[in-house]
Amino acid sequence: MSTWFTEKQTDNFGITAKVNRSLHKEKTEFQDLEMLQTEEWGNMLVLDDMVMTTEKDEFVYHEMLAHIPLFTHPSPKKVLVVGGGDGGVIREVLKHDSVEKAVLVEIDGKVIEYSKQYLPSIAGTLEDPRVDVQVGDGFMHIANSEREYDVIMVDSTEPVGPAVNLFTKGFYEGIAKALKEDGILVAQTDNPWFKADLIRQVCADVKETFPITKVYTANIPTYPSGLWTFTMGSKIYDPTQVPAERFTDIDTKYYTDELHAASFVLPKFVKDLTE
Ligand code: SAM
């Protein structure tokens, strides 16, 4: 008898996936963690009954969170990822030769541990010598950092539990202080169909903290509504004005330099949230 995992994306709507078997399930210090082997999406990491990443569609999210800011910055050397314990963003960051140091601050060590075990195609580069994995609260790491990073990426869960603070104006102000004078912030900001208020609020807060604020989108089938947004705050560099010669060849399956530009062209109902 096959079982199905269902994520309720709203009280009235959700998605469901056929499960071959549950590979691991535990209540960690911070959240419910389950690793599922699914028929359609391969192995899937679920936290608090929400899909975090799957082997089949993870490349979209990880490539778009990493490459848009890293090609916008002329020479990113030191990068911070807040959250991201599955290792997918780090994998993409390491594709940029200019990167000398990639720091990952993940609050839940179990996410890293079981991602290495059950998601090797995603977590496989966490042992790279350029990577510094720290288990801790990203909010505190930011509070203790000053003029240190070229690019900071917030790959957190939704604003629930340990991630609530990661969607506050105070956090974005802390990030501006932790960034060098020409630094760039990018954060996953959920979907415009069910979380319009969150996107509107984050945009307003980032606009008050960074001279350049832009939103871009990507299609992620296993995420709520399938249409995902990312909000960028930049001190100097405009992500829609990247010189063509900056785009070097990297191995990707979703991201391209044309898509880089196109992803900032927003449907009207999304654009309205950013104004
Ligand atoms: N891509 C997914 C999404 O958009 O929903 C997020 C994936 S990643 C696994 C999210 C990670 O953020 C989780 O492993 C969670 O433990 C971590 N996290 C949540 N709050 C955090 C905090 N305050 N500091 C550091 N990591 C945090």
Pocket lining: 231 vs ligand 1, CB cutoff 6 Å? no
pLDDT in tens, 88-144: 999 999 999 999 999 999 999 999 999 999 999 999 999 999 999 999 999 999 999
State the pLDDT confidence band at 1, using cuts at 50, 70 and 90: low
Pocket lining: 109 vs ligand 1, CB cutoff 6 Å? no
Using the atom order of ligand 1, give the atom closest to the CA of residue 166: 23
Average pLDDT, integer, range 16-30: 97
pLDDT in tens, 133-191: 999 999 999 999 999 999 999 999 999 999 999 999 999 999 999 999 999 999 999 99
Pocket lining: 81 vs ligand 1, CB cutoff 6 Å? no
Residues paired with 42 in a beta bridge: 38
β-strands 149-155, 227-234 pairing: unpaired
pLDDT at 166: 98
Active site residues: 155
Average pLDDT of the chain, as a whole number: 97
Using the atom order of ligand 1, give the atom closest to the CA of residue 45: 9
β-strands 78-83, 101-106 pairing: parallel
pLDDT in tens, 63-76: 999 999 999 999 99
Q: In what order do the strands lie in the sheet with 50-54?
A: 3-10, 13-27, 32-38, 42-47, 50-54
Residue to mutate, 91, 156, 189, ligand 1, most ligand atoms under 8 Å from C-beta: 156
Q: Is the pLDDT of residue 212 over 90?
A: yes
* DSSP secondary structure, 90-125, as one string: HHHHTT-TT--EEEEEES-HHHHHHHHHH-HHHHTT
β-strands 212-219, 227-234 pairing: antiparallel
3-state secondary structure of 156: coil
Unique residue bearing structure tokens 């405009």: 238
